[in-house]
Amino acid sequence: LQLEMFVDELPDMPKIQGFDVVNGSPKSKSLTIGMFRKKWKFHRDLPPTPVFAYGASRLTATVPGPTIEALHGIDTYVEWQNHLPSKHILPWDPTIPTAVPATKKGVPTVVHLHGGIHEPASDGNSNSWFTAGFKEKGPTWANATYHYNNNQQPGNLWYHDHAMGLTRVNLLAGLIGAYVLRHPDVEGPLKLPHGDEFDRPLLVFDRSFRTNGSIYMNSTGNNPSIHPQWQPEYFGDTIIVNGKAWPKMMVRRRKYRFRIINASNARFFRFFFTNGLEFIHVAADSTYLGEPVVTNETLLAPSEIADVVVDFSKSETDDAILANDAPYPYPSGDPVNESNGKVMKFIIKKNQEVDTWRVPNKLIKYPSPDLSSVRETRYIAMYEYTSDTDEPTHLYINGKPYEAPATETPKAGTSEIWNVINLTEDNHPLHIHLGLFTVLDQTELVNKEEFKGCMFKENDAIKCHISKYARGKKVEVPAHEKGWKNVYKMTPGFVTKILVRFSYIHSNSSYSFDPTANPGYVYHCHVSISPFPFILFVFKHGIDII
Ligand code: C2O
């Protein structure tokens, strides 16, 4: 199926305000957002595709869903409603831990606001799922209306489905959307590109389609005798931005701000412009950077966010293609091809303009990590168990499955050092709910196989003398990734040391942090976005494994 590139205009998703304005001052707001089955046009020449879409109504639902705009300090309440039919539009594997309604009818869903800091009952725990009309509910379901405090630092969040075992297919079906948290008093003076024309979220993801327009997903498992349909990773050959395949956007010779969200299940993107234009990073996935950082390329794992300014007045050409050269799976998979190596095209107007936007030398400085506040040091090892035929079957953390009792019980307002030891062959984007972290360093393991052998027996990095092995080469953290983040790339064969701050920058809120509270919070790898509780945590690469 060969689709012509750069024929559809880049859409802007509809905006929904998460606050009201009463007599000139902002007030909290309650929203209702539904999930609907409908058809979505991904490309001029592709028949409409059956999708699951978020929206205020079926008519206005889009893929991705509407961009929710929230204000710092003003609560947003959302009742997420499931209006999905009784059957899924994609194949799902019942042999992995999965939300399955007792009546076998309905599509279980639950919404996680990725990057949000709020009470556990609003966090979208994967076992808090519900079907259409709340007819059936998962074991940790607590309330229909979610409360987002919006008390955290301004920045970029996104919402996506998080249901046990179905996350990967619910996302593929279209259940994703952007959430921008603004703090005008703090951000306004920066004079960064602002307003609908110049400040645009870009949700980038990959899909494959059949000629009839439907989403193609290989439904034969890698290891069919154990899991008939389960595929650990999904890669599509069509690159979609804001719901259109390889779109184009007309721009003026001025600065624009793009909040680029990698909303793929498994694909890493290493973005660059074919005409050498630069990315001026102003923020990462949780907070602003202290000062802007200029790069020629930017590598985003699934669920990472780059918040960049691009200055088209610097362009020597009249168009620029945003391209990608990240192998898939990353880092040791296939090289990109003609299709997945291109993302979108910018057509740049000829005449120069006066630009009123700027990128100041200083942005917003947050406190640097304070090592003296560290209360706990943990070792988090990720390794795969394989079948007799060498197929990966389970990917656990410290040898423990998701169902095991929680081993991480941090205290509110404290910091911890986590040494994340990646003994797999793939790079895993580790996402921690509720915690913001900074990456301190990455150190290669020497004699990895020997250490791994011990870990399979002991499941305990200290007993296996991790310090004897964590002494290889060190890799610097790139400047634009040194700020506070909620997800980062765990390099295979390396120990990544992070300082995690639980409920960082969260003030004057009514919520109390209790890590043992049910449903609690999770941390997990974001490849295929399978949620694993961090209290009960598990790392199951790929998806929903056994
Ligand atoms: Cu973006 Cu627990 O996920």
Superfamily of domain 371-529 in CATH is: Cupredoxins -  blue copper proteins (2.60.40.420)
Split at pLDDT 50, 70, 90, the class of 544 is: very low
Alpha carbon distance 421, 497 (integer Å):
9
Interstrand relation of 248-253 and 279-283 (parallel, antiparallel or unpaired): unpaired
Q: pLDDT per residue over 33-74, tens digit each?
A: 999 999 999 999 999 999 999 999 999 999 999 999 999 999
pLDDT (0 to 100) of residue 396: 80
Alpha carbon distance 312, 488 (integer Å):
29
Helix (H), strand (E) at residue 167: helix 167-173
Question: What single DSSP character describes residue 189?
Answer: G
What would the mean pLDDT of 296-304 be, rounded to a whole number? Answer: 97
- Tell me: pLDDT of 183 over 70: yes
Q: What would be the CATH architecture of the domain defined by 199-352?
A: Sandwich (2.60)
**What is the residue extent of each domain of the chain?**
15-182, 199-352, 371-529
Alpha carbon distance 245, 258 (integer Å):
18
Indicate if ligand 1 lies below 6 Å from the C-beta of 433.
yes
Indicate if ligand 1 lies below 6 Å from the C-beta of 392.
no
CA–centroid distance, 479 to ligand 1, in Å, is 24
What would the mean pLDDT of 129-157 be, rounded to a whole number? Answer: 94
Three-class HEC string of 294-354: EECEEEECCCCEEEEEEEHHHCCCCEEEEEECCCECCCCCECCCCCCCEEEEEEEEEEECC
Asked if 15-182 and 199-352 have one fold, the answer is yes
Q: Name, in order, each residue with C-beta under 8 angstroms of 36's C-beta and a sequence gap of 6 or more.
A: 52, 53, 54, 55, 57, 58, 61, 83, 84
CA–centroid distance, 114 to ligand 1, in Å, is 5
Q: What is the CA radius of gyration of the chain?
A: 22
Indicate if ligand 1 lies below 6 Å from the C-beta of 522.
yes
User: Percent of the chain beyond pLDDT 70?
Assistant: 92
CA–centroid distance, 111 to ligand 1, in Å, is 9
- Tell me: pLDDT of 238 over 80: yes
- Tell me: pLDDT of 115 over 90: yes
Q: pLDDT per residue over 352-407, tens digit each?
A: 999 999 999 999 998 888 888 898 999 999 888 777 777 666 778 888 877 777 77
CA–centroid distance, 306 to ligand 1, in Å, is 17
Tokens of residue 366, six digits: 């947050």
Residue whose Cα lies nearest atom 1 of ligand 1: it is: 114
Higher pLDDT, 286 or 492: 492
Alpha carbon distance 338, 432 (integer Å):
34
Split at pLDDT 50, 70, 90, the class of 217 is: very high
Ligand 1 atom at minimum distance from 124 CA: 2
CA–centroid distance, 431 to ligand 1, in Å, is 7
pLDDT (0 to 100) of residue 391: 67
CA–centroid distance, 122 to ligand 1, in Å, is 13
- Mean per-residue pLDDT of the chain: 90
Split at pLDDT 50, 70, 90, the class of 110 is: very high
Indicate if ligand 1 lies below 6 Å from the C-beta of 114.
yes
Residue whose Cα lies nearest atom 2 of ligand 1: it is: 531
Tokens of residue 264, six digits: 């793929």
pLDDT (0 to 100) of residue 545: 21
Cβ(229)–Cβ(172) below 8 Å: no
pLDDT (0 to 100) of residue 231: 74
- Counting beta carbons within 10 angstroms of the beta carbon of residue 290, is it exposed (0 to 12), middle (13 to 18) or buried (19 or more)? middle
Short-list 452, 543, 442, 456, CA closest to 491: 442
Split at pLDDT 50, 70, 90, the class of 504 is: very low
Split at pLDDT 50, 70, 90, the class of 523 is: confident
What would the mean pLDDT of 329-345 be, rounded to a whole number? Answer: 96
**DSSP symbols for 344-388:** EEEEEEEEE--------S---PPPPP-GGGEEEEEEEEEEEEE-T
Give whole-number Cα distances, 142 to 124, 139, 326, 345, 478, in Å.
Answer: 10, 9, 41, 45, 41
* CA–centroid distance for 68 within its chain: 16
Alpha carbon distance 239, 40 (integer Å):
15
Tokens of residue 393, six digits: 């079957």
Ligand 1 atom at minimum distance from 126 CA: 2
What would the mean pLDDT of 501-515 be, rounded to a whole number? Answer: 51
Cβ(330)–Cβ(427) below 8 Å: yes
CA–centroid distance, 527 to ligand 1, in Å, is 10
Most confident of 151-155, 203-207, 506-510: 203-207
pLDDT (0 to 100) of residue 509: 43
Cβ(529)–Cβ(433) below 8 Å: no
Give whole-number Cα distances, 162 to 201, 379, 458, 531, in Å.
Answer: 21, 26, 31, 6
The three-state secondary structure class of 268 is coil
User: Percent of the chain beyond pLDDT 90?
Assistant: 72
Query: Tell me, which fold does domain 15-182 have in CATH?
Result: Immunoglobulin-like (2.60.40)
pLDDT (0 to 100) of residue 503: 64
Ligand 1 atom at minimum distance from 158 CA: 1
- Tell me: pLDDT of 540 over 50: no
